[in-house]
Amino acid sequence: MLIQQVIVTVFATQTLGADSGVESAAATLALTLGVMMIATIGALAPVLVPALIRLWTAIVPPRFAPSWFIARHSAIEHPRQASTAVMPISIGIALYGILFGIIATWQNALHAAGFAGELNTIDTYVMLTPAAVIAVTGSVASILLTTRARTRQYALIRTAGAPPRTIVSIALAEAVSYSITAIGLGLAVAYASVLTAAGLLTATGLPATPLIDFRQMLLLAGIGIIAVLTSLLVPALAAIRGNPRDTVAMS
């Protein structure tokens, strides 16, 4: 999944590299940095993602939200499960943020310098659409592959006396923890790349201010959040509708 998305990004460099000049080289270099960061984070995901979830989800005390504590514990104790759910969407958000952020930064710098015309964004949409589809599909697929294990986990919680609303709350809390982590990682990578692009463009004599196109990122993030939540509700609803003892016995 990571390799496919990085390949899409490498081909997308042609969108920025199609225009000759030092500015184009600066933008392409910043994009390359973003790709390298994505590859590095992807390789470290089984360790990095659970650590990030452990860090930021600790802001909610367990006594205030037991369902949040259970979802947090599940994500931390299953690092591969958490990383495969988070990373595809995180990479998709990063790709959108990097490419559209570099284009916005470059375009704004050109306008500020008095140059007319618009940079081509059609090719960017064409190149990133497969990456967006892969991102959402990858997260959904990784969650659905664990449906049986999750259903059993929820059934065990039900046998302990948890009402249906608690099961749904756990699924919702897990979706929130995954989504916020994915958005945070994607935004961090995108901003680092765009900040680099602005610095390189300024060094070429074209003063630039780093700009992030949040519209594109939030669109993909919204679709990803809905897809992840829907996928997590599948085992939760299965555990609620079935007999929890039978579900545990059959697993």
Using one digit for the tens of pLDDT, what is the confidence trace for 172-224?
999 999 999 999 999 999 999 999 888 888 888 888 889 888 888 888 889 98
Are 108 and 74 contacting, i.e. CB atoms less than 8 angstroms apart?
A: no
pLDDT band of 168, cuts 50, 70, 90: very high
CA 128 to the chain's CA centroid = 14
What pLDDT is recorded for position 115? 73
Are 16 and 28 contacting, i.e. CB atoms less than 8 angstroms apart?
A: yes
pLDDT band of 117, cuts 50, 70, 90: low
pLDDT in tens, 28-58: 788 888 888 888 898 899 999 999 999 999 8
Which comes out higher in pLDDT, residue 61 or 1?
Answer: 61
- Whether residue 21 has pLDDT greater than 90: no
* Count of domains observed in the chain: 1
Q: What angle do CA 236, 138, 97 make, to 5 degrees?
A: 115
Q: Please state the length of the chain.
A: 251
Q: Which domain holds residue 107?
A: 2-250
Tell me the backbone φ, ψ of residue 24, rounded to 5 degrees: -65, -40
